[in-house]
Amino acid sequence: MGLTAKTSRAVPVNSLAKVYEARVEDYTRAAEQTDDQVFRRMLLTLALQFTVAAQEEGAKSKQAQTR
């Protein structure tokens, strides 16, 4: 093997939908822990936006797999 040998290591790759779902959990958890109503509402709005984005990304992934 020389310097050009390639490694075939499997690297786990999270789908974008999974990343978005993790953000939903983070924002929801933070919203539960804050006493500031305005900040809580902002965090819950972000969680909702990431929920929608995760659903849309999941739908894209399914369409790509069926092609």
pLDDT tens readout for residues 25-61:
999 999 999 999 999 999 999 999 999 999 998 888 7
Instruction: For residues 43 and 27, give the distance between their C-alpha atoms in angstroms, rounded to a whole number.
Output: 5
Alpha helices by DSSP H, listed for the chain, are 16-33, 37-66
pLDDT at 11: 45
Q: Which two tokens stand for residue 21?
A: 């779902």
What does the pLDDT average to over 5-30? 80
Burial class (CB in 10 A: 0-12, 13-18, 19+), 27: buried
Instruction: For residues 10 and 66, give the distance between their C-alpha atoms in angstroms, rounded to a whole number.
Output: 24
Q: Which of 47, 18, 55 is nearest to 30 (CA)?
A: 47
pLDDT at 43: 98
Q: Is the pLDDT at 63 greater than 60, yes or no?
A: yes
Q: Is the pLDDT at 24 greater than 60, yes or no?
A: yes
pLDDT at 60: 84
